[in-house]
Structure 1
Amino acid sequence: MGIPLSPRPAQVIDLDAMRQRQEARRRLIRLSPELDGLEMVYQLPSEPDAYYGMPLLAWGLREDGHVVGLVPWMESLTPCHHLNDPEHGHFIGYRDPETEELFEEAPDHKVFELEQAAAYFEYEVTSEPTLIQQLPETQGTHALCMDDSDAPWQLKQVFGWRLYSDGVVEALLADEQLIDSTPILPGDPCLYTGHSRHRVVYFFQRQIANRIRREDPATLEALALMVMPDHQQDD
């Protein structure tokens, strides 16, 4: 006759805690500007035979050790591999326009640079988000800022980017009334983080921003279709 086994207590799995740990490991802990012209290559579902290139703004080291390319896309400085949108495109890979080489992972020299920088500055998690790094804006990125539904849009130049200890990256915009010297540089008192004042912030490359300034009809129509549903949904 067998020996009866006492039932083991059921193991409780905290899915929310596991999700938070996974998200924490994906947060950015160090940035490095891309200064050699490397690009992100992406494809639009509506044009399956065409490929598009977009200059990388920076590379980011995540807490899990993975290095990702970063571009100003929609509402954030976005890791390239997160681009998988049925309307706006999905990520194909990285490209060196000089050699036309296409690759899937960050180049070794950027991985080494970020790992060494993170080790030197001894990144530590803090209870409250603190500023750990600032990058200058090098591509003429602009932000379309929206507040109340009745307020006009504001098109503003981005002057830099701030990385905080919780992995959040914020764009630096200028308060025109506080500008007392030019050129505007990171650290100037006229600068503020975009989401500290504006409810919605969308990023655009310089050439798109210039079309918006010129009130190009096709650009404004596409812009309205892209941003208004999300903006109205928040109301």
Structure 2
Amino acid sequence: MAPRKSGRSSTAKILPFPSRPSRKDERRVLRLSPEYSGTCLLYAHHVLSRDKLFAIKILCWARLANGDTVALVPWLNGVSRCIDLDNPDSGQAMGYYDPHSEARFDQPPIQHVAALDALSEVLPPSSKGIAGAVVQEIPDNIGSHAALLIEQQQEFALEPVVSWRLDELGNMDAMVADMDRATQTPVLSRDDCLYPVREHPGFRYFFQYHIANQIKAGGVMAARAISQLIKT
């Protein structure tokens, strides 16, 4: 989560996303459009700093049941909509950031809105609401890792997330590979060796690739992450 200075910029002023209360079923995720250009979600986290904004890579864009289009990010041990991050002490969404152009904006990119419009027409939402019925599977393009405690060996492992599955109830599962069952590499989306990481009893958190690499390399960041995992 690389820090971004929140000082004045030549780009437009970034305002917090508007909070619009709605019923839970209206916020259900219906369709996904993978983020492929590295766009980040900017957020404030007062526990970490009151002077900076932080950036986290966006996993994908989602069409909600109420028609809104929002960004989704792996957050702690789940996936969060940007509109759910509304507490500055634990994470408050403050806009979007393109690291290539350094542009900041507060509306979903038009290409993802168009893609979700098209998906909604081609794959209209089902009214059956069958738990576990997969409606979409997208690859993980941001290097997400799942941290797993392996109690038998008294150690932990970082497993790369291969893909994410969306079911009819709007739930998303991170899929990791059981390499003992893998018959070919690289392991791709929909491979038979993939399983939902939530089924692993030692699953704790999601980390993006730069944090996962720091943990693998050791050092202060690794010590802090391991300490947090053990305490959970």
> Is 1:194–1:201's contact at 8 Å kept on the other side of the alignment?
no
Q: How many corresponding residue pairs?
A: 209
1:175 alignment partner in structure 2: 178
Counterpart-to-counterpart distance in 2, 1:87 and 1:147:
31
> TM-score w.r.t. structure 1 length?
0.80
Q: How far apart are 1:65 and its partner, in Å?
A: 0.5
2:52 alignment partner in structure 1: 50
Moved more, 125-134 or 167-176: 125-134
Flag structure 2 segments of 5+ consecutive residues without an equivalent.
Answer: 1-21
> Is 2:79–2:172's contact at 8 Å kept on the other side of the alignment?
yes
Question: Compared with structure 1, are the counterparts of its residues 227 and 83 closer, same or farther at alpha carbon in structure 2 (3 Å cutoff)?
Answer: farther
Q: Is it true that 1:117 corresponds to 2:119 in the alignment? A: yes
Q: How large is the RMSD of aligned CA atoms in angstroms?
A: 2.3
Matches within 5 A, 1:223-234: 223-229=225-231, 231=232
Counterpart-to-counterpart distance in 2, 1:32 and 1:75:
21
> Is 2:129–2:168's contact at 8 Å kept on the other side of the alignment?
no
Q: Is it true that 1:142 corresponds to 2:128 in the alignment? A: no
> TM-score w.r.t. structure 2 length?
0.81
Question: Compared with structure 1, are the counterparts of its residues 149 and 80 closer, same or farther at alpha carbon in structure 2 (3 Å cutoff)?
Answer: farther
**Counterpart residue type for residue 31 of structure 1:** L
Identity %: 29
Counterpart-to-counterpart distance in 1, 2:214 and 2:141:
19
Moved more, 28-37 or 143-152: 143-152
1:10 alignment partner in structure 2: none
Q: How far apart are 1:177 and its partner, in Å?
A: 1.0
Deviations 1:167-187 (A, max 9, x none): 001001011211221010112
Q: Is it true that 1:96 corresponds to 2:92 in the alignment? A: no
Greater Rg by CA:
1
1:8 alignment partner in structure 2: none
Flag structure 1 segments of 5+ consecutive residues without an equivalent.
Answer: 1-20
Which structure dedicates a bigger proportion of its chain to helix?
1
Which structure dedicates a bigger proportion of its chain to strand?
2
Matches within 5 A, 1:1-235: 22-45=23-46, 46-85=48-87, 87-129=89-131, 130-146=133-149, 152-198=155-201, 200-216=203-219, 218-229=220-231, 231=232
